[in-house]
Chain A
């Protein structure tokens, strides 16, 4: 903790190395399996995320979006290339240093990943306790506040198994927001939710981002939902076939999705167009 105070990043300065990027991926490769069954979700991805930004990653199912978030958290190690978070090279950190870095990040897992041996309230309190918060009264207040924010008041005493899928997702969201993180990663925060709740969650992501503006929080969300993407993002990234096929403001993606296909459009632009419009026909092949 003492380390955090003297950290220039906390004080709003730049990082060791002078970059303003909180996260940077340099030519990252990651594959699974071997032989014929080898798949390469990431084949040379480079990316820099500016501090304070709201990045949305889109792409068809199974293209390595979740893998990318796991790499950023250090849950997976890249086969090649390097990943820097807060200016620190993840591969050079020992277990303890990695933990300290992770304490400054929060992740909403695709499946929620609530601890099913604990009540919802204890789940939301967990990261606070893990960060060393001992004031039970404060924990109680924050927990009920976070649960109210995600539209789940009075569920603190329920077990996760008693909630519906969408409620579980929102409870997990409450848990990841409990600790004022500097980087928040959302893996499909609205998948499986009704459109109204999805919209409310998008608002919540925006509100959280605004409320943590003092520490210049960086939000990264993975989603399939173009509505959520355009509502949340100030930058959109499309991943397909192990590489980045599109990178720009949400307007660019909306523009590419509209109207008749431009003659002579690049392969990338046609992919974006296909994804944004949600068409099975096109350069992206998901079902063989």
Chain B
């Protein structure tokens, strides 16, 4: 019994240490950013790998979840007589939760694993040491480009997943289940507000950076040959997925309470824009 408790404690400690090391890696990345731009070639390569090459799997995920969600909820809503809500429910779910979380999980699998495997292999074959001896910092050369590419590409991929999910949901309700297109669209445009997108996209930003940091950290910590690389990759994947799920809950709660704040900010922005416009129009009229 005691042995199991000790083992559990060990796992918890490892987890905590991991969180700390990921945070350190994050600050190292920031420090390198502050010292200058990252290596352009590596960044472009990673944009292509993380962004462009992930598109097919992200689109497939988004389309099928949108369609199945529409199908299930439509059949429930018919009984309640509110089938016109289907599109809006799908849109909310995609933008709030499914989009960012599923993109995160898919990226943890597709991108995260390959990051850990690649960096881990470089580590056990002394390539990381070789990098450092040639005056090239591994964090700057390997980690920073991957983190930057994830930072920019995860939200973009999430937008694609959201869009295709909503479209597939609408397609399912309108073309397959035979609902009225007009009512679906009215509900969607009435329900969706700017804060929904702020919520979904800020989650995806955090997920993207977290995945790449966790996977890079595990790669850099890899020891013990091919077996070690395999272990590190599995651990990185599990850790990324768990981190996404936990962060998703935490951020959902936080973002729920932050909504009034965003409404204030949005009001201020709207006010500033309208003021600027009226000033511009004033000038225009003066000039005319």
Complex: A95 Cα to B246 Cα, angstroms: 34
Q: How far is the CB of B284 from chain A (nearest CB, A)?
A: 50
| B121 neighbours in A (Cβ, 8 Å) | 116
Query: Does B137 belong to the interface (CB within 8 Å)?
Result: yes
Q: Which residue in B118, B122, B129, B137 is a CB contact (below 8 Å) of A109?
A: B129
CA distance A95 to B137 in the complex (A): 9
Query: Is B126 a contact partner of A130 (Cβ separation < 8 A)?
Result: no
A110 and B134 contact, CB distance less than 8 A: no
Give the secondary structure class of B's interface: helix
Name the distance in Å between B63's Cβ and chain A's nearest Cβ: 33
What total of chain B residues lie within 8 Å of the partner, measured CB to CB? 15
Contact with B along A104-130 (1 / 0, CB 8 A): 011101110111110000000011001
Nearest CB in chain A: distance from B286 CB, A: 53
- Which residues from A are CB-within-8-Å of B135? 99-100, 102-103, 127, 130-131
Contact with A along B118-129 (1 / 0, CB 8 A): 100110011101
Mask, B127-162, CB within 8 Å of A = 1, is 101111111110000000000000000000000000
Shortest Cβ distance from residue A191 to the other chain B in the assembled complex, whole angstroms: 14
With known contacts A95-B137, A127-B134, A130-B136, A110–B126 Cβ distance under 8 A:
yes
User: Chain B's nearest CB lies how many Å from the CB of A110?
Assistant: 7
- Cβ–Cβ < 8 Å partners of A103 in chain B: 134-135
Q: Which of A46-73 contact B (CB under 8 A)?
A: 70, 73
Binding site for A on B (CB under 8 A): 118, 121-122, 125-127, 129-137
Extra A-B contacts (14), CB below 8 Å, given A99-B137, A102-B134, A127-B134: A99-B135, A102-B133, A102-B135, A107-B130, A109-B126, A111-B125, A111-B126, A113-B125, A113-B126, A115-B122, A115-B127, A126-B136, A127-B135, A130-B136
29 pairs of residues in contact across A and B, judged by CB atoms under 8 Å: A73-B129, A73-B133, A75-B129, A75-B133, A95-B137, A99-B135, A100-B135, A102-B135, A103-B135, A105-B133, A106-B133, A107-B129, A107-B130, A109-B126, A109-B129, A109-B130, A111-B125, A111-B126, A113-B125, A113-B129, A114-B127, A115-B130, A116-B121, A116-B125, A116-B127, A126-B134, A127-B135, A130-B136, A131-B135
Q: Which residues from chain A sit less than 8 Å from chain B, CB to CB? A: 70, 73, 75, 95, 99-100, 102-103, 105-107, 109-111, 113-117, 126-127, 130-131
